[in-house]
Amino acid sequence: MKKIFLVVVLLGGMGIAATHHYADAQLLPRIITQAFRPQYEQLLIQDWLKYQNLIQQEIPRLNTEKIDLSSSAGREKFKQNYVKDAKLIIDANNQNIARIRQATFATESYRNIQSLDMQTLTIMNQLFQDNVIDYYAKHGDTQTFLREPALKIETVSKYQAQQAEMKVLEQLRILAIKKDRRLRHIDADLFSDWLDYSILEHQLYPRDAQWDTLGNLQKLSQRTEYDDVRELQAYQALQPRTATFKKIQQLNVQSIQSNLQIFADFKQPTNAQQALENIKALNKTMQQQDFKAGVELSNQLTAEQQRINKQMVLQLSQALL
């Protein structure tokens, strides 16, 4: 074994000498570095796994007390609770900022995302500090505020994170096709189903590259039954191998069918009066049992997705980190 290693080293030295003879001397350090550097795709996968573990953020337990706002005492208590909640949010955000700052990423993509995430949380903290905590201390009241400054940065972060994740999923698919030994302890069918489903989700729900308040409102108002039908057909076309993803597929289909049934009578508003009527109708619909059942379906789907995502990230982290 030592002889083989010696031959490899000698051949490597000859190769470097030959390269130095034919190539510019300034290129040599780069060539040597690339020869011993892990592939970019591998680094991207590792950064993605680190980021998935990182985004399990600290979430504060906010006050859920129901308060009667008809009295001045009730309104004052509501304001005081809001100030307390704002302080909890800021504290949790500071903990998350510290966690994000400590992370080390090898790729520029995730270093950019890391920076954007810290900026988002910092701006949110400033908004709560200025408009809730400080404003209450000065005026004995709180004021509403737009989160748009933070949302603008968060939108860029989520877009870049989606673009990076799509590259990672394609690389993971290649590893699965090649039957990479590092994945041998991961259920192949479950892994394949998870990849298919995750890629489809990104295709159906692409992130915007930048925040556009008016554009976002227009998208919501222009959404039609066709969009639900298109998504329904996409989920129905999946061919999962495992019971886990057959259940997730079923929950998706049932959830969309529920939406189609609940909102069948809603028409695209063409003026302000029709939009107002839709809002009134929606308020009534939200009290109906069908709507509550639809929300329960959505909650089940979210819980199942989160469970399997955590499982896959854990197994991939054990295999690839």
Residue predicted with more confidence, 208 or 67? 208
Show me where the domains of the chain are located: 40-178, 191-321
Mean pLDDT in residue range 224-243? 93
pLDDT at 38: 57
Nearest Cα to Cα of residue 285 among 269, 265, 268? 265
The answer for 293, left when phi > 0, alpha when psi is -120 to 50, beta otherwise, is alpha
CB 183 within 8 A of CB 175: yes
Residue-wise pLDDT tens digits, 127-172:
999 999 999 999 999 999 999 999 999 999 999 999 999 999 999 9
Band of the pLDDT at 124, cuts 50, 70, 90? very high
Band of the pLDDT at 237, cuts 50, 70, 90? very high
Mean pLDDT in residue range 18-42? 53
- pTM equals 0.80
CA pair distance 34, 28, nearest whole angstrom? 10
For 24-38, 263-277, 304-318, which range has the lowest pLDDT when averaged over its residues? 24-38
